Structure 1
Amino acid sequence: MKIFWDKPIDVSLLIHEDMLFWPNDPKFQREWVAKISEGKNANLSKITLGSHTGTHIDTPYHFLDHGKTLENIDISRFYGFAKVFEIKNPNKILLQDIETLPIEEGDIILFKTKNSLLLKENIFHDDYVGLSLEAARYLADKNVKTIGIDYLSIGPRGDEGREVHRILLGKEIGIIEGLNLLEIKEGRYFMMALPLKIKGGEGSPVRAILFPIEE
């Protein structure tokens, strides 16, 4: 097996003022504190953004009041060999969509869905594809390492989505949301998606990279 370290594929969303946001989340803002063009010695900006902006991870504390925060999570969940599966179901990732897939304990699983097309738009879509409760329980029982998806939430909007988070985060399964998988084919990759080390943090933007593998 060979990992092509010289061919990184950036699957992160570009952060900018007009990007896609979860409804009512803080939007990205940048204020220039100093600019060379205005006679300063360096360019320096101050940024404001929500901790779940763009491509990001969730920590257990996001949905569990006594869950681990960013400085305490196992960051090894956010790098390693990953399996990308394309799910054709246009509504939800159901148990029957994944129970025959080669998913094993300790896997990093990334789901590519119709969401990858939706991410190209700066309009939030309520009908994005999320992981169903039954599928979440199945993956939790499998004891996978991490689950990623190509929209801003791993679960459907509403109560079901919140429960999906609790099921996965209750077992400290890593969650990566907002992956840009539009140009990614099914298969195995090596992934890196490391969060910031923020004390007490419940989530963090990440720079998610996939490296092709030759088996």
Structure 2
Amino acid sequence: MASIVDLSHTITSDPPDLPEFLRTEITYNDHASGAAEFEKLLGTPPRLLRDGEGPAAERLNAGTHSVTHVDAPWHYNSTIGGERAQTIDELPIERFYGPGVVVDALGREDGDAVTAAQMQEGIAAAGHELRPGDIVLVHTGSDRFYGQRDYMFRGPGVTPEATRWLFDRGVRVMGIDGWSWDAPLDGQAKEALERDEPGILWAAHQMDLPYSQIERLTNLAALPPTGFMVACFPLKIERASAAPARVVAILEDR
């Protein structure tokens, strides 16, 4: 037997005054509406259904990045390594299931970053021997800000050097419980403007590497440092830069 730990946030409707690219809207249709739809489609009155009720249904209007999701290389740039970047539907499904390891990045201030040396130390502290195909999850505790207006500006991120260090060791999927794999964009934007140079804003994303990020994870505190499998299968959306995913960790009972 195995136990499953849910690492995905619940999808809920957001306040209507949020910017559209951040907002998720769920429209709920009840059983009476379903009965009316059946009557319109099939000509059957509600009395032919149990309790006069038809199918309940919902309509989801959400950005591919507005919930717990997996990024494709196309999200970062149109070309990666001199070739057209892959979209989410083009990535091999096998990539999204593999051994997991949690890197402890708790206690850092907003805007701090996990360096390559700290990433290496975190994996060693977890007692994990990194192998190609492993899925690395960075635990910052930033999921406690999920749903708050300043969530996107809270918590630490990961440096480009740490990202490349993982990639060079065969890691193709890496995740974090913050809004973004990069450190908060407000701090990066301020530095980029002051220095007037590229390579600062959104730097870990734009590393010219064909890897995937899982962003907006939760519940990483419920996991052991290592010894579990991660499943993070994204929805197969044509030509998309990302897709929502139900991310879980699978632990074998001992």
SS of the equivalent of 2:164 reads helix
Change (3 A) 1:112 1:202: same
SS of the equivalent of 1:42 reads coil
1:118 match: 145
* Identity score, percent: 23
> How many residues are treated as equivalent by the alignment?
205
2:196 match: none
1:207 match: 246
Q: CA–CA distance in 1 between the matches of 2:232 and 2:169?
A: 22
1:42 match: 55
Report whether the alignment pairs 1:189 with 2:223: no
Change (3 A) 1:39 1:110: closer
Amino acid at match of 2:144: L
Report whether the alignment pairs 1:30 with 2:29: no
1:85 match: 103
Amino acid at match of 1:202: S
Partners of 1:84 and 1:188 within 8 A in 2 = no
1:171 match: 209
Partners of 2:173 and 2:214 within 8 A in 1 = yes
Partners of 1:10 and 1:209 within 8 A in 2 = yes
Q: How far has the Cα of 1:207 moved from its partner?
A: 0.3
Partners of 2:159 and 2:203 within 8 A in 1 = no
Partners of 2:98 and 2:133 within 8 A in 1 = no
Q: How far has the Cα of 1:73 moved from its partner?
A: 0.8
Amino acid at match of 2:23: K
Q: 1:141 aligns with which of 168, 178, 181?
A: 168
Task: Give ranges in structure 2 of 5+ residues lacking alignment.
Answer: 36-53, 79-83, 189-198
SS of the equivalent of 2:203 reads helix
SS of the equivalent of 1:71 reads helix
1:94 match: 115
Partners of 1:75 and 1:194 within 8 A in 2 = yes
Q: CA–CA distance in 2 between the matches of 1:23 and 1:38?
A: 30
Q: CA–CA distance in 1 between the matches of 2:150 and 2:93?
A: 29
Partners of 1:77 and 1:174 within 8 A in 2 = no
| Larger Rg, first or second structure (1 or 2) | 2
Q: CA–CA distance in 1 between the matches of 2:157 and 2:169?
A: 19
Partners of 1:54 and 1:152 within 8 A in 2 = no
Partners of 1:147 and 1:176 within 8 A in 2 = yes
What whole-Å deviation, never above 9, does each CA across 1:87-117 have from its counterpart, x for those lacking one? 2350221122122334333321111113233
**CA RMSD of superposed structures (Å):** 2.4
2:74 match: 61
Change (3 A) 1:111 1:31: same
Moved over 6 A (4+): none
Partners of 1:192 and 1:209 within 8 A in 2 = yes
Amino acid at match of 2:202: R
Change (3 A) 1:184 1:117: farther
